[in-house]
């Protein structure tokens, strides 16, 4: 190499040791980056041209004038983007489905490992027009599986003559006396049982996982009992886990007498302390998911009914909205009412907490912000809806409030606005179902009623409508999993089903049935694994639908669950 040629030979002789050859640097696509002035001593034999070598086009010579826009046109390919960082298990159909939401594709090229032919997480997407390609850059940062996809414009391939080098051009050789094999790039949820099952044809004495893994890859070390079958040629690939199995039946059913069949109410919520609050008629009941103990929190009397319940983030205070327009705040640990606010003129069907700030939506078309520390009943009033407010959700960073109403409108407010900062009118029916993504800032999902039947996705940061999915029936509720990039929707007319979706492809993972009335109520457990649904059939049903945060496997039941079917009463 040129750098070694510049070293005086006398100095090398005095040390008695040759310089250690440095490992060549590689760019983000795995291609070697030659050092300045690096020239091969012998001209390499010609090799087949690679599919694409992405390097910047040579800059214009000094003194040459460039026409306007020539710099970009000479560097980037028109209508083409590069998607990197994809999970190796992503299929061509899934990638195509994600990008075709922006427009028709001209071609889709997947980069693969040369030795195994497996997908290497890099794809080249060509659109019919450059405008559509530029719009697809909005997907940059989207989470797919447990990885964040990167999308950027595709640079033109330069006519570089340097030799292309790849890893694993030959099978790895076994050193004499070596009885161990190292396996990398495994999924995080791979277990010792999975590995033993995959390598069952070999005699494995032990498997040791690396304790600390600094990068997003899992590694294992195999020790073989004998010399037979120690050499594993090529690249190691693990068996695909396949689609997650979601139980199609609830593991628990609670009878909930007097649970109202009213689309505009929100009568079920699950606290961070694992306590379920349910409004039944004029009473509120608390069901402890750990002990199954039922406590009657309050009775509003014969002249009033419960219209909404909502837990504060800390899980000790519960807000109760009533048919007479009152908002009560209860200390659930002491079963004591600590505040009553009477600022609404009609029923309060929606509640949402933001630390000590409680927002309430009413049939009187208004949204009120209550600071439970302040003496006044409310500190600000939001005006915008022309009909009853039936959906209300604060974003996870507590900076944006989304509201839905019977006027078919979806509004987004900030912490200080009294008028909506974003207005969406694409829904054609009441908007009750609202859910903020815990995985991507500003991603909002909303669902429409019987005349609409659609789930729509919005980027509130860029004020863009991202996608629309026709579910075929009334959308009553939405909730996003915090453990995986999936969400659940519950439905009314006419199918009364529960659907688990994978985002962003919106492919159905499971359709759950069992309720005989509209599935109007939905809440998720604090560990993010279990959902509870309520309907006008006066039952609450518990389903295990999401994996745990650590294993991301649906095999383990939630801590509140049971391995056998149980049916009991909430009161």
Concatenated DSSP letters of 382-443: E---SS-EEEEEE-TTSSEEEEEETTS-EEEEESS-SS-SEEE---SS-EEEEEE-SSSTTE
Better-predicted residue by pLDDT, 555 or 383: 383
Tell me if 429 sits within 8 A of 410, measured CB to CB: no
Better-predicted residue by pLDDT, 557 or 81: 81
Better-predicted residue by pLDDT, 362 or 77: 362
Q: What are the structural domains, with CATH classification, of the chain?
A: 76-155 (3.30.70.330), 252-555 (2.130.10.10)
- As a whole-number percent, the residues of the chain with pLDDT over 70 amount to 73
- Work out the average pLDDT over 107-123: 86
Contacts of 263 by beta carbon, 8 Å cutoff, 6+ apart:
390, 430, 432, 449, 474, 476, 492, 518, 520
Is 60 exceeded by the pLDDT of residue 405?
A: yes
* pLDDT value of position 550: 64
- Work out the average pLDDT over 99-123: 87
* pLDDT value of position 155: 85
Better-predicted residue by pLDDT, 507 or 228: 507
* pLDDT value of position 562: 39
Task: Say how many C-beta atoms besides its own lie within 10 A of residue 381's C-beta.
Answer: 11
Indicate if the alpha-carbon torsion angle 187, 192, 194, 199 is positive or negative: positive
38-73 burial string, b = 16+ CB within 10 Å, else e? eeeeeeeeeeeeeebbbbeeeeeeeeeeeeeeeeee
- Work out the average pLDDT over 165-181: 60
Is 60 exceeded by the pLDDT of residue 537?
A: yes
Coil vs helix vs strand at 471 = coil
Contacts of 173 by beta carbon, 8 Å cutoff, 6+ apart:
231
Q: Cα angle vertex 94, ends 118, 92, to 5°? A: 40
**Distance from C-alpha of 287 to C-alpha of 358, rounded to nearest angstrom:** 23
**Distance from C-alpha of 326 to C-alpha of 337, rounded to nearest angstrom:** 13
Q: How confident is the model at residue 7 (pLDDT cuts 50, 70, 90)?
A: very low
For residue 239 the two structure tokens come to 């068996």
Q: How many helices (H) and strands (E) does the chain have?
A: 6, 38
* pLDDT value of position 21: 63
Range of weakest confidence among 8-17, 19-28, 192-201, 214-223 = 214-223
DSSP bridge partners of 153 = 81
- Work out the average pLDDT over 194-203: 80
* pLDDT value of position 67: 38
**Distance from C-alpha of 164 to C-alpha of 21, rounded to nearest angstrom:** 19
Better-predicted residue by pLDDT, 129 or 236: 129
Q: Cα angle vertex 141, ends 527, 111, to 5°? A: 110
- Work out the average pLDDT over 314-341: 96
DSSP characters over 18-62: PPPPPPPPB-TTS-B-PPTT---SSPPPP-PPPS--B-PPPPPPT
Better-predicted residue by pLDDT, 416 or 192: 416
Closest of 134, 171, 174 to residue 154, by C-alpha = 134
Strand bridging mode 498-502 / 507-512: antiparallel
- DSSP letter (8 states) at residue 194: H
Per-residue pLDDT reduced to its tens digit, 53-62: 333 333 343 3
Range of weakest confidence among 199-203, 263-267, 510-514 = 199-203
Is 70 exceeded by the pLDDT of residue 52?
A: no
Per-residue pLDDT reduced to its tens digit, 21-50: 666 666 655 666 665 555 444 444 444 444
Residue with tokens 């899934």: 94
pTM of the predicted protein model: 0.59
* pLDDT value of position 431: 98
**Distance from C-alpha of 568 to C-alpha of 571, rounded to nearest angstrom:** 9
Average pLDDT, the chain: 80
């Amino acid at each position: 190499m040129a750098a070694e040629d510049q070293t005086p030979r006398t100095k090398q002789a005095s040390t008695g040791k040759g310089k250690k050859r440095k490992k060549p640097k590689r760019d983000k696509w795995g291609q070697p980056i030659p050092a300045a002035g690096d020239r091969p001593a012998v001209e390499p034999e010609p090799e087949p041209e690679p599919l694409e070598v992405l390097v910047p086009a040579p800059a214009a010579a000094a003194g040459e004038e460039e026409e306007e826009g020539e710099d970009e046109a000479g560097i980037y390919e028109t209508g083409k983007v590069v998607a990197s960082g994809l999970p190796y298990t992503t299929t061509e159909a899934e990638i195509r489905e994600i990008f075709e939401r922006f427009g028709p594709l001209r071609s889709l090229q997947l980069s693969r490992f040369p030795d195994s032919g497996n997908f290497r997480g890099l794809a080249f997407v060509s659109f019919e027009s450059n405008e559509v390609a530029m719009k697809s850059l909005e997907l940059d940062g989207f989470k797919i599986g447990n990885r964040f996809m990167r999308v950027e414009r595709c640079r033109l391939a330069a006519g570089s003559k340097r030799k292309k080098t790849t890893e694993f051009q030959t099978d790895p050789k076994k050193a004499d006396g070596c009885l161990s094999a190292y396996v990398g790039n495994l999924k995080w949820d791979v277990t010792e049982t999975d590995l033993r099952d995959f390598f069952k044809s070999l005699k494995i004495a032990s498997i040791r996982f690396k304790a600390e893994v600094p990068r997003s890859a899992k590694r294992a070390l195999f020790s073989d009992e004998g010399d037979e079958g120690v050499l594993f040629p090529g690249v190691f690939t693990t068996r695909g886990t396949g689609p997650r199995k979601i139980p199609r039946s609830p593991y628990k059913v609670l009878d909930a007498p007097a649970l109202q069949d009213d689309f505009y109410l929100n009568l079920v919520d699950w606290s961070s302390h694992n306590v379920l609050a349910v409004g039944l008629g004029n009473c509120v009941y608390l069901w402890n998911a750990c002990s199954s103990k039922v406590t009657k929190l309050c009775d509003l009397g014969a002249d009033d009914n419960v219209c909404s319940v909502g837990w504060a983030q800390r899980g000790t205070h519960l807000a109760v909205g009533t048919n007479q327009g009152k908002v009560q705040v209860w200390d659930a640990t002491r079963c004591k009412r600590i505040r009553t606010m009477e600022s609404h003129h009609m029923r309060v069907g929606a509640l949402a907490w933001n630390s000590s700030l409680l927002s309430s939506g009413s049939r009187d078309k208004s949204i009120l912000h209550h600071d439970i520390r302040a003496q006044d009943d409310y500190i600000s009033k939001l005006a915008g809806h022309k009909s009853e407010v039936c959906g209300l959700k604060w974003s996870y960073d507590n900076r944006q409030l989304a509201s839905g109403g019977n006027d078919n409108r979806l509004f987004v407010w900030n912490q200080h606005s009294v008028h909506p900062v974003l207005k969406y009118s694409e829904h054609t029916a009441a908007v009750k179902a609202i859910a903020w993504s815990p995985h991507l800032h500003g991603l909002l999902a909303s669902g429409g009623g019987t005349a609409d039947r659609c789930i729509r996705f919005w980027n509130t940061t860029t004020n863009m409508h991202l996608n629309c999915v026709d579910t075929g029936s009334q959308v009553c509720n939405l909730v996003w999993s915090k453990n995986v990039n999936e969400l659940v929707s519950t439905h009314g007319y006419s199918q009364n089903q529960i659907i688990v979706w994978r985002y962003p492809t919106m492919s159905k993972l499971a359709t759950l049935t069992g309720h005989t009335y509209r599935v109007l109520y939905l809440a998720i457990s604090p560990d993010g694994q279990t959902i509870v649904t309520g309907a006008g059939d006066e039952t609450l049903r518990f389903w295990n639908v999401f994996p745990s945060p650590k294993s991301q496997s649906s095999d383990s039941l939630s801590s509140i669950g049971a391995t056998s079917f149980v049916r009991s009463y909430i009161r």
